[in-house]
Amino acid sequence: MPTEPASTAALEAARKLAGRVCAGERSAISQALNAVDDNRASSREARLALLDAVSPQARGVRIGVTGAPGAGKSTLLDALVSGLRDRGRSVGVLAVDPSSQRTGGALLGDRMRLSASARDAGVFLRSLAARDQLGGLSEVTGPSLDIMAAALDYVFVETVGVGQSEAQVIDVVDTLVFVAQPAAGDLIQFMKAGILEWPDLFFVNKSDLGDVATRAAAELRAGLDLGHRRDPDRVPPVLSGSARDGLGIDELIEALDEHTGYLKTSGIGEARRRQGRIARIEHALEVRYGRFGLATLGSETEVRAAIAAEPGASVDRVVDVLSSRIEAALCEHDEEKGRRGA
Amino acid sequence: MSSIDSRPERDRPWMFRTYSGHSSAKASNALYRSNLAKGQTGLSVAFDLPTQTGYDSDHPLSRGEVGKVGVPICHIDDMQVLFDEIPLEKMNTSMTINATAAWLLSLYIATAERQGTDQGALRGTTQNDIIKEYLSRGTFVFPPEASMRLTSEIVSYTVDHVPNWNPMNVCSYHLQEAGATPVQEIAFSMANAISILDVVRAMPEVDDETLSRVFGRISFFLNAGIRFVEEMCKCRAMNLLWEEIGRERYGITNEKMLRLRYGVQVNSLGLTEAQPENNIIRIALEALGVTLSKKARTRSLQLPAWNEALGLPRPWDQQLSLRTQQILAYETDLLEYGDLFDGSHVVEAKTNALLDEARGELQTILDMGGAVTAVENAYMKQKLVESQTDRLRAIEAGELTVVGVNEYVEAVDSPLVEEGAGAILKVDESAEREQIQSLEAFRNRRNTADAEAALKNLEDVIKNGGNIMAPSIAAAKAGVTTGEWSQVLRDVFGEYRAPTGVVAAPVAEASEDVSQVRKRVDELSTTLGRRLKILVGKPGLDGHSNGAEQIAVKARDVGMEVVYDGIRLTPQEIVQSAQDEGVHVIGLSILSGSHGVLVTDVVEQLKNEGMGTIPVVVGGIIPDDDADKLVAAGVRRVYTPKDFDLTRIMDEIVDVVAESNAD
């Protein structure tokens, strides 16, 4: 990867931008999000400087919202945003939409139909195309969340449907909420797919459907008691309500706050962020260089040690540093092969 | 040669209407009276967008929209002026009003009573079809459940108190404008009618006899496109399907109630800006499709004006449309015969084919839970966007011939639109200011306590599940305004944003042109450092989103990342969205004629927010003079209906972004 040295002025500008982001300035958040999305070699140093300055300041609560299409994720987000705004908290929403594999184009934001009351100065919306990540999150999801969490109290990331994205989204959020709709057979499918082991909170939507909804909540509780869970010490609460009618939203916000408190006091939150950081770095390196490339850094333990050696640096910085090492090793490997061949 | 006396007996012609209204109640009243004097036999009222979406003329969202696409009606005095010297007991009035239908009907009833006419004597139609507003026209306000409640309450009120009123005019018209095929037009509108009839049937006060009368009062409003043989067969198929639904689903046996009654406005979608005089012929041919067959003949007909793709029609343009109807009805021998097509194998086969396919599509919608579900899950909207995309692609590819547009484009200049011909109506820019002044004067002279008491009563009745009509008529008489009435409902029911339906549109097979633009988008994205991102915005109250949707889909197909948040956004919301989303370019779409104020607002606010370098392009029905003004204000490109080649528009947008980022 070619490196172009950034001018001191560019680095200074990046640090200044970071300061404005942390002060919650709207235009700065937008500019910074554009900057982390900028993949020109000439912008790289400025981007890393920005992320190094912002990442340690990113204290906002990150919440993933997932669930099958049609479960009512957008309506729920709309209600949550309004509820949090009523409590005077600032909110960011990052909505990830799929890209066309063929054209690279994407239609964004249709799911984020926030009502007028939810569009005020304390709400920041950004939609993101999933780009080349089939069914997953784009690489800029993590850095984008870092930027938004440095400026806003709550940051939500809404992902498309159900699938590979859950396993990835837990690397970038503190709390994962699963929105279920009371449709026959859905839950069994999710259990089979192993999706239900990741969420920290369940919200059974459309409680106005009556018995069906009550039954779905009961089935879910039973399934969670039996199944694998990410956090073995805690059975995730199953709430129900109707996002459309604003029912159960206060309870959901309380449950989110309760989980945030639990993460803090138990130390699990800190551990999760550490694990997430490692997973993001490893994932990024593996996407770029494959398992073979990653293995040039040594055993799994050695890789983790290498990551731990850069505790204050942003994920992207560590990826950058380790990329250079992998590239050097691969280069040596090629030369070795060349010598043997000759 | 036969003498006058021996002329054969003729059928009574359909009702002639012209969809009209603009500027103010006074100006519209003058227009109505002159149209009636020319031989028009019914009225069709066009309301402006604030009235249609429940805002007073002085509301911030009304800015630039007052009196533009119709007449502003804020209170009973406006309504009284609108029908001054037009006796309502003799008139048949069609009102294109949906979300606020209960209110405008209440004002109409209250005005009639002031004229000394009892509501029982009134004849006419409230469009009152909210499903197609969600799908195409965009003047919805409330969520589906509340909207269905309002519609059904108007139905149950009028069937007893205003028995000659058509409380709901199920519109397939706007579905065709949004791209619907004949099969979709039939199936979606039938599903729509069923969704209301099912609600009405479930009302405790509705017995079998009432249901039969309600069924008989539901009317339809159809479109007629240029493929006029197929359109005629479509009408015949709808007749058959409606009767079938009446008998089988609702157990109606009264033959009279089972008859499909419909009015028609012929197609505006196919009218062209290029060689606009050709539209005169298109309109006449389209009129044939819904009048030729006696069995499938429309009850009332509205013809658009030849210059609608250019701007607002003048009285002369509307007169030409009326004359077209009169020639067809009075000069030709059309009305002297029975049905011309009974026994035609060709017509019967085509009718049956449409009927079979429509039955299947209707069943698909009913199986998923009916029209309301198919709105909420965006099924119908996606189907319409797909059909429209197909149609536009076929025109671009030359598979569908549009004379003067993609074939036979060589032509001499039209004298109708030459320099100085003044081929469109200029709305008096002082209309908005005068309307606001008159509204303020009304508020000052009314009894405020009466109005407030009426609003309180309205709120109580709605919350307790009572019928909306009686308290609304009382509120009309007490001097309540359109905005106040609507606000009570907004507070109780909430507001709705409908799905845009664009996300699931399939990516089209790329033509060579599309591949070319895609390559340019890729290259520019590399230069920019991230993928080219565009915001497609619809500022103001105009809900005609078909154009914006097609632009959004095409931009995605050429590889752009597209942010499209749907309709009815303020300039401020658009600017905020552009900032949050970090877009490279903004495309605005406006068809209501309020581009002057709204586009300039967006450009100004971008500058104020330090985003003046983000280029803005605009599309809509924009006269040349206005386009020049917009360009002078900083708009980079202006597109009008003659720019049918969306791929070329995308290519130019790439140019615009490249220019703005060249340094």
Predicted confidence band of residue A261 (pLDDT cuts 50, 70, 90): very high
How many residue pairs from chains A and B have C-beta atoms closer than 8 A?
Answer: 105
User: What residues in A contact B565, CB-CB < 8 Å?
Assistant: 109, 112-113
CA distances from B352 to B282, B294, B346, B348, B501 (A): 26, 18, 10, 6, 30
* Phi, psi of B224, deg, nearest 5: -135, 115
Query: In order of start, what are the domains of chain A with their CATH numbers?
Result: 1-57 (1.20.5), 58-265 (3.40.50.300), 267-342 (no CATH)
Which of A24-33, A153-162, B63-72 is the most confident on average?
A: A24-33
CATH code where residue B244 lies? 3.20.20.240
Residues with Cβ within 8 Å of residue B450, at least 6 apart in sequence = B478, B479
pLDDT of residue A95: 86
Beta-carbon count within 10 A of B145 CB: 14
Q: Are residues A34 and B582, on separate chains, in Cβ contact within 8 Å?
A: yes
- Looking at the domain assignment, is residue B297 inside a domain? yes
Which positions in chain B touch A111 (Cβ < 8 Å)? 503
Q: What string of DSSP letters covers B332-367?
A: SSGGGSS-SSTT-HHHHHHHHHHHHHHHHHHHHHHH
Q: Is A97 on the interface with B (CB under 8 A)?
A: yes
Q: How far apart are CA A90 and CA B456, in angstroms?
A: 35
pLDDT band, very low/low/confident/very high, at A164 (cuts 50, 70, 90): low
B472 is a domain residue: no
Sign of CA dihedral B353, B356, B362, B364: negative
Residue B487 lies in a domain: no
Instruction: Look at residue B476 and tell me if it is in a domain.
Output: no
Residue B144: closest C-alpha in chain A: A244
Task: Please count the other Cβ atoms lying within 10 Å of the Cβ belonging to residue B410.
Answer: 6
Q: What is the mean pLDDT of residues B576-581?
A: 93
Both B518 and B372 in one domain: the answer is no
| Strands, sheet with A154-158, edge to edge from the N-terminal-most edge strand | A123-129, A91-97, A154-158, A61-67, A175-180, A201-204, A238-240
pLDDT tens figures, B486-512: 999 998 998 887 776 666 666 767 788
CA A223 from centre of chain: 26
How far is A203 from B202, CA to CA, in rounded Å?
A: 32
Residue B360 lies in a domain: yes
Answer whether residue B247 shows pLDDT above 70: yes
Q: Does B593 reside within a domain? A: yes
Does residue A2 carry a pLDDT above 50?
no
Name the pLDDT band for B170 (thresholds 50, 70, 90).
Answer: very high
Test B582 with A103 for CB contact under 8 angstroms: no
pLDDT digits (tens, 9 = 90+) for B355-383: 999 999 999 999 999 999 998 888 998 89
The band of B298, judged by pLDDT with boundaries at 50, 70 and 90, is very high
Q: From B20, B7, B12, B9, select the one nearest B425 (Cα to Cα).
A: B20
Q: Which of A255-259, A298-302, B264-268 has the highest mean pLDDT?
A: A255-259
Q: Which listed residue (B134, B157, B173, B564) is catalytic?
A: B173
Report pLDDT for B521: 96
**Per annotation, catalytic residue among B59, B174, B381, B533:** B174
Residues B246-253: what's their mean pLDDT? 97
The more confident residue out of A196 and A23 is A23
Answer whether A109 sits within 8 Å of B497, measured CB to CB.
no
Nearest to B532 by CA among A102, A95, A129: A129
Q: Which of B417, B442, B471 is the last residue of a domain?
A: B417
Shortest Cα–Cα distance, B178 to chain A (Å): 19
- The rounded percent of chain B whose pLDDT value lies above 70 is 97
Task: Return the pLDDT at A110.
Answer: 59
- Give the domain range for residue B302: 4-377+412-417
B538 catalytic residue (yes or no): yes
Quick one: pLDDT at residue B1?
45
| B135 occurs within a structural domain | yes
The CA distance from A300 to the nearest CA of chain B, in Å, is 33
In a domain, B167, yes or no: yes
Q: Which of B22, B68, B234, B544 is catalytic?
A: B544
- Rounded Cα–Cα distance for residues B122 and B111 (Å): 11
Whether B308 shows a pLDDT value over 50: the answer reads yes
**DSSP letters along B40-75, please?**
--SEEEEBPHHHHTT--TTSGGGTTTTTTSSB---S
Active site residue B262: no
- CB-CB: which of B530, B561, B576 is closest to A106? B561
The answer to whether residue B522 neighbours chain A at the CB level (below 8 Å) is yes
Tens of pLDDT, residue by residue over A35-51, are: 999 989 889 999 999 99
- Of A144, A216, A145, give the one whose Cα is nearest residue A180: A216
- Tell me if chain B has a CB within 8 Å of the CB of A181: no
pLDDT-based confidence at residue B410 (cuts at 50, 70, 90): very high
pLDDT band at B345 (very low <50, low <70, confident <90, very high): very high
pLDDT on residue A191: 67
Instruction: Count up the domains in chain B and report the number.
Output: 2
- For residue B585, the cross-strand partners are B534
User: Is the pLDDT score of B23 beyond 50?
Assistant: yes
- For chain B, the average pLDDT equals 92
Residues 6+ apart with CB under 8 A from A59: A149, A150
Q: What is the CATH number of the domain that holds B555?
A: 3.40.50.280
Q: Shortest CB distance from B561 goes to which of A43, A105, A111?
A: A105
Chain A residues within an 8 Å CB radius of B579: 26-27, 30
Q: Which of B368, B390, B417 is the last residue of a domain?
A: B417
B426 or B258: which carries more pLDDT confidence? B258
Is A119 in CB contact (< 8 Å) with chain B? yes
Tell me whether residue B75 is one of the annotated catalytic residues: no
**pLDDT value at position B302?**
94
